[in-house]
Amino acid sequence: MANSKAIRGFITGLSIGVVVGILIAPDKGQLTRKKIVDKSKDLTDLVKDSVFDFIDKLQKGVDKEINETQQITPKMSGDV
């Protein structure tokens, strides 16, 4: 849960920083819009990578728990 909040905070801060930096830069409107689009694509890729990494870690944790549960269950049923 803490990792999720940290990732969201990082992405939010990064987004705000990129937008402010682009808007302050002394470029023409068309160039500024192109920069915003390019940075948005980069940010989207970063978010996708972060989400996929999180899902992979979550899936590994679930698989581990299932495996451990399957190993414990037969032992418990034999004790009855």
Name the residue range of residue 8's domain: 2-79
The per-residue pLDDT for range 30-75, each reduced to its tens digit, is 887 788 788 888 888 888 888 898 899 999 999 998 888 888 776 6
Q: How far apart are CA 42 and CA 48, in angstroms?
A: 10
Three-state secondary structure of 7-69: HHHHHHHHHHHHHHHHHHCCCCHHHHHHHHHHHHHHHHHHHHHHHHHHHHHHHHHHHHHHHHH
Sign of the Cα torsion 33, 36, 42, 47 reads: negative
The per-residue pLDDT for range 15-26, each reduced to its tens digit, is 888 778 777 777
